Amino acid sequence: MSSQAVLPKLVPLSFLAVVLIWSTTPLGIVWSSESVHPTMAVLLRMLIALVLGLLVIMMTKIRLPWNRVAFKLYGFSAIGIVGGMLLSYFAARYLPSGTMSLIFGLSPLISGLLAQKLLNEPKFGPMRILALLLAFTGLGVVCSAKLALGSDSWIGLSLILCAVLLFSLSGVLIKTVHIAIHPIASTVGALLFSTPLFALAWLLFDASLPIDTWSVRSMAAIAYLGVFGSLIGFVAYFYILQHLNASTVALVTLITPVFAMALGAQLNGEAITEALVIGAGLVLGGLGLYQFGDRLRRRLSRIGQ
């Protein structure tokens, strides 16, 4: 049997892997930083991913570009990796994993706004403007509920919103770099640029190594995120991008917050309040309208003709 016949069968498995990995990543971040300082937790995660990535490159002889254009790509990627992840790890001390996943689900909308400014993409039509209003209304409901529950919640909300902004900015800037590169090579290159910055953050914010206080759950979460969250998840995501249309891939951002909130409630005792359910419904409704609203409007207009 040829590889061409085998590969398409991996698409459902890869899609499921992306959903599961993205759904469990917020909880993994919360658990990994329970007994390990956030800067050390994310540094260890990146080191695991970097070592494994380098081994894969050496074993498969994938070319790692080392020129000005590649450096630009790695640098733009590092904005999302360092800014997005580091702030998320700090936010995990103030927010439940489900809320983090829900707010990160707004990244397609924020990316769309940034793309208008940086890539001169067309402005949003009425349907996407409505989607934006709906999603950010939901965000407001979630944020107001969190602020009412805890005096420190505003710190976590500010951190995670900045993380989403940097993650989205990174994705838009990457689109301005035109280079033929293997996804594993781009990941390893970005990790080579990012890991020293994580080490610097650890030196600035902690600089201690209390290994005897690290719990088994935190270490297991770090290992899981290093192997799956930072390496296998990316490869699976790139694979489904190659074999599925963009609207199908976009379903991941609608599915993962629901799973993440359910996992947080079941495995970490996180409360799912009425305000959170209402806010999540508005956010996910806005995301769905953003991704599929224009297509639905065109279909309805054809039926009405």
pLDDT tens readout for residues 28-46: 999 999 999 999 999 999 9
Region of 125 please: left (phi>0), alpha (psi -120 to 50) or beta: beta
Could you tell me what percent of the chain has a pLDDT over 90? Answer: 44
H-assigned helices in the chain: 3-6, 10-32, 38-60, 68-78, 85-91, 97-104, 107-118, 126-149, 153-174, 183-205, 216-224, 233-243, 246-249, 251-268, 274-304
Band of residue 305 on the pLDDT scale cut at 50, 70, 90: low
Band of residue 165 on the pLDDT scale cut at 50, 70, 90: very high
pLDDT(276) > 70: yes
Q: What pLDDT is attached to residue 3?
A: 40
Q: What pLDDT is attached to residue 224?
A: 96
Q: What pLDDT is attached to residue 7?
A: 47
Residues 241-269: what's their mean pLDDT?
A: 81
Q: What pLDDT is attached to residue 282?
A: 92
Q: Which amino acid is at 4?
A: Q
Residues 171-196: what's their mean pLDDT?
A: 89
Higher pLDDT, 2 or 160: 160
pLDDT(195) > 60: yes
pLDDT tens sequence across 35-80 = 999 999 999 999 999 999 999 999 999 999 999 999 999 999 999 9
With the C-alpha atoms ordered 30, 31, 35, 41, is the resulting torsion angle positive or negative?
Answer: negative
Band of residue 154 on the pLDDT scale cut at 50, 70, 90: confident
Higher pLDDT, 3 or 167: 167
Residue with tokens 């409505």: 130
pLDDT tens sequence across 117-139 = 898 888 888 888 998 899 999 98
Q: Can you tell me the distance from the alpha carbon of 281 to that of 75, in angstroms, rounded to the nearest whole number?
A: 36
Exposure on the CB side of residue 191, measured as CA atoms within 13 A: 24
- Give the Cα-Cα-Cα angle 276, 88, 16 (nearest 5 degrees): 70
pLDDT(4) > 60: no
Q: What pLDDT is attached to residue 109?
A: 87
pLDDT(301) > 90: no
Label residue 182 exposed, middle or buried (CB < 10 Å: 0-12, 13-18, 19+): middle
Beta carbons within 8 Å of 5's beta carbon, 6+ residues apart = none
Q: What pLDDT is attached to residue 23?
A: 92
Q: What pLDDT is attached to residue 2?
A: 39
Q: What pLDDT is attached to residue 181?
A: 85
pLDDT tens sequence across 88-116 = 999 999 988 988 988 988 888 898 889 88
Q: What DSSP designation does 229 have? A: I
